[in-house]
Chains A and B, each alone.
Chain A
Amino acid sequence: MTPVIVPPKGGRPRPGIAQLKRTLYFLSRNTLAIIGLAIVLFFVVVALFSLFSPLSNQSLQQYCSVTYGTNGTVGCQPVCTYDASSGPAPAANCYPTYSGNVGFVGPTVDLTHLTGGPLPLGSMQVSSGTNQYYYSIYDGLLKGSAWSLGIAATIVLSGASIGLVLGAIAGYRGGYTDEVIMRFTDIFLSIPGILLVLVIVASFAGYVQGLEGRMLLLVGAFIITWWPFYTRIVRGQVLVTREQKYVEASRASGAGTGRILTKHIIPNSLYPVFVQLSLDVGAIPLLLGGLIFLGFQIYPSPYFPEWGAMSANSVANLQSLIESCQFGACVFPWWQILFPGLTVFLFAISVNFLSDGLRDALDPRLRR
């Protein structure tokens, strides 16, 4: 008697695709994750726009030309500046500065800035030595999106790749290799994170020249700090996956180490890595801001448009601003703190929502 059971329509999808569809389904039911995803995508679009749009295609070198003094100090000369309080930009690549003792320009709701008008989000001041620079917050945030996202993505992806490779090797091989790699990882894990970054950047700052050099140093320091976390995660996951029956079956049917690693072990270890990855992407602009707040000159110019830098500079100025405000009536420059801070906060929290949604969607223990 042939069994008469109605199969699901459409045939059976491949397991990988089915898993992906499942994950997306659960993500879509999580409102916070959707909000997070939307905001993150928005920022990504903004970053791409600021990189490729014809309106603001200034590369960093055009903000200022960096000069190095004889004893290691760094200076910055704006290439083309115009006095924004007295008229529109004379050329497309000119950078606005503001003179006069009303150094603070509050926000206006006027989007004509896109074609060279006044500032929609207000201006921000940064001191470098005896120079005061004022620049547009809107401008900075826009260009900063590319920098923040780019730096964060680079650091996290590199760290994750290194961690994936090392963790997979350590977890799969086991034994002596495992011990050696884990001890090595433990050593790096023992040094508290921000400390290691500080130490590396402080020590090697004298070696590097130029914007690229400094950025490489910064990114490199972060990668050196970050890879142990991923190694540990991947190793833990590989240890579990290694014991699964399908790996044993695969080995019994003749698959070599490479094939097993690429086809079974690594794809199954990716999920916690994704979750951690998304969390770290949000945390890095905050850490960069923290470094700047402590006074670190990790960027070539004091008004480098990166979100963390902007919010840190504004907060670092806060105390002196309040003091100076006490001796005479002045406007408390709330926009300098609010807008950069809000941007970083929005980015970090939406990434967090997304990562949380991913974790819930990928957790096999939650009954579905």
Chain B
Amino acid sequence: MRMWVYVVRRILLLFPVIIGVMTITFAILSALPIQTHLIATFGASKIPYTPMVPCSDVGQPGNGQCRNPTYFQLVHQLGLDQPIWVQWAEYMKNSLTLNWGTVNYHSNAASAFSLTTSIPVTTVLGWYLPYTLELAALSLIIILAVALPLGNYSAVYRNRPIDQAARVMSFSGFALPGFLLATLVLFAAVILSGGATPTCNSNSTHYFDWYGSWPPFPQCANQPTWIGTYIQTSPTGFPTIDAILHGDWFLAGESVRRMLLPALVIAYGSVAGILRFVRNSMLEVLNLDFIRTARAKGVPETAVVSRHAGRNSLNVTVTVLGLTFAGFIGGFPIIEDVFYLHGVGLLLAKSIQPTQDFGLIFGTTLLFTIIVVVANILVDILYAYLDPRVRLG
């Protein structure tokens, strides 16, 4: 079928999936005890503990148990006493219009990020998302640069030492706990770049150099003036791009440097899967008929591999990379936690415990899901562009 027909079909499939995801988050939300909702919105101190109180407390006749007016007032305020389908419709409407609630300033997340007023969740997400996206992009570049050549070599020299070594290396990347590797890398970098003696706010300045974000203490490191209180940058919100737009190459380099270690850790963990895939796809291509024809023509082996096989194995690799990128957006809560990179993963991690901030939790979930779905569709479209046979179905 025509290309645009395929594109439209894929985009139309987007909506049921997103609505399905929103329904699931709604299901989880509505399964929560009402108590939790109340505490989350109003703070624990203001919630009367029980919905029912002894009648004498309220001064009403009855069978000994009376409804607590404050409690039910608050419940009504939150709209939790309406029938479930009304709540679902309300939730859908809010979600689809990006009215995802406000940050709960009682929560841990709020205090961690110094958010003192009720800022809408979407705004906060908008501040933190570019950092995660940049980190994902940098990781992807590193993975590409490593996995593609290594995978091709592994396929051509199958089962020889380089194949075995690449396999072991990629497995070790998969098997090491991410937090372990991240922490070790960070401290190794700190120690190697000059030591861990504290000079500023009980941490060494070298620590802040390799930290993912600009430290919250202006006296400890040079913060550019255009980075605001809530680490929002202007005008696009992406730190590196903004630095380049401001013409500040040094800061662009600094921004990349802060992302370098986390990106390396992420790449080391992800190379395993992609390496395997590149290798298998290359092996498959090397078994095809036209490779035999090229050899029979007298093309030297290096040209057979690089020219004839290489371009053909790229199609599927692109798909896999796209899917990996989509998987990345699942956020890297652990990596961002260790390197304190102000990304959405960290936001999520902080908002889950000990006091949950449901606005942030479910907002982040919805955001990630939308990104994954959109990335999947983009990958499908790209694949259809590269391989005309796909458009038939």
A residues in contact (CB < 8 Å) with B: 32, 71, 183-184, 186-188, 190-196, 198-200, 202-204, 206-207, 282-283, 286, 289-290, 293-297, 308, 311-312, 315-316, 318-319, 322-323, 326, 337, 341, 344-345, 347-349, 352-353, 356, 365-366
Instruction: Determine the interface band of chain B, counting residues with CB < 8 A from chain A.
Output: 35 or more
- In the assembled complex, the Cα of A40 lies from the Cα of B369 at a distance in Å of 36
Q: Which residues of chain A are near B202, meaning CB under 8 Å?
A: 323, 326
Distance (whole angstroms) from the CB of B281 to the closest CB of chain A? 12
B168 close to chain A: CB less than 8 A: yes
Distance (whole angstroms) from the CB of A312 to the closest CB of chain B? 6
Given contacts A206-B36, A344-B177, contact A187 B24 (CB under 8 A): yes
- Sort A-B residue pairs by CB-CB distance and give the 5 closest, nearest first: A192-B330, A348-B175, A187-B20, A349-B175, A293-B179
A295 to B177, Cβ gap below 8 A?
no
B21 to A190, Cβ gap below 8 A?
yes
B94 close to chain A: CB less than 8 A: no
A-B contacts at CB below 8 angstroms, number: 151
Given contacts A187-B20, A187-B21, contact A315 B352 (CB under 8 A): no
| Segment at the A interface, from B26-34, B56-64, B123-131, B305-313 | B26-34
Contact of B177 among A71, A200, A312, A356 (CB under 8 A): A312
A349 to B334, Cβ gap below 8 A?
no
Which of B152-177 touch A at CB < 8 Å?
164, 167-168, 171-172, 174-177
Which of B233-276 touch A at CB < 8 Å?
272
Q: Which residues of chain B are near A337, meaning CB under 8 Å?
A: 180
Q: What does DSSP make chain A's interface, helix, strand, loop or mixed? A: helix
Q: Jot down 5 A-B pairs with beta carbons below 8 A, ordered by A.
A: A190-B372, A207-B33, A286-B175, A345-B177, A352-B175
Q: Which residues of chain B are near A187, meaning CB under 8 Å?
A: 17, 20-21, 24
Q: Which residues of chain A are near B105, meaning CB under 8 Å?
A: none
A184 to B180, Cβ gap below 8 A?
no
Which of B350-378 touch A at CB < 8 Å?
352-354, 356, 361-362, 364-365, 368-369, 372-373, 376
- In the assembled complex, the Cα of A349 lies from the Cα of B25 at a distance in Å of 35
B331 to A195, Cβ gap below 8 A?
yes
Distance (whole angstroms) from the CB of B179 to the closest CB of chain A? 4
A192 to B178, Cβ gap below 8 A?
no
A353 to B171, Cβ gap below 8 A?
yes
Distance (whole angstroms) from the CB of B221 to the closest CB of chain A? 18
Distance (whole angstroms) from the CB of B116 to the closest CB of chain A? 22
Contact of B174 among A184, A308, A323, A348 (CB under 8 A): A348
- In the assembled complex, the Cα of A185 lies from the Cα of B32 at a distance in Å of 23
A195-B330, A198-B352, A344-B177 are known; give 14 further A-B pairs, CB within 8 A.
Answer: A32-B167, A187-B20, A194-B331, A195-B331, A200-B28, A206-B33, A206-B35, A290-B178, A294-B337, A295-B349, A315-B179, A345-B172, A352-B175, A356-B171
B352 to A202, Cβ gap below 8 A?
yes
Which of B177-198 touch A at CB < 8 Å?
177-180, 183, 187, 196-198
Given contacts A312-B179, A315-B180, A323-B203, contact A191 B172 (CB under 8 A): no
B215 close to chain A: CB less than 8 A: no
Given contacts A323-B203, A341-B180, A345-B176, contact A183 B331 (CB under 8 A): no
B329 close to chain A: CB less than 8 A: yes
B177 to A194, Cβ gap below 8 A?
no
B183 to A32, Cβ gap below 8 A?
no
A191 to B369, Cβ gap below 8 A?
yes
Q: Which residues of chain A are near B28, meaning CB under 8 Å?
A: 199-200, 203
B16 close to chain A: CB less than 8 A: yes
Contact of B16 among A183, A282, A315, A344 (CB under 8 A): A183
A190 to B373, Cβ gap below 8 A?
yes
- In the assembled complex, the Cα of A129 lies from the Cα of B29 at a distance in Å of 29
- In the assembled complex, the Cα of A211 lies from the Cα of B353 at a distance in Å of 19
- In the assembled complex, the Cα of A192 lies from the Cα of B353 at a distance in Å of 19
B287 close to chain A: CB less than 8 A: yes
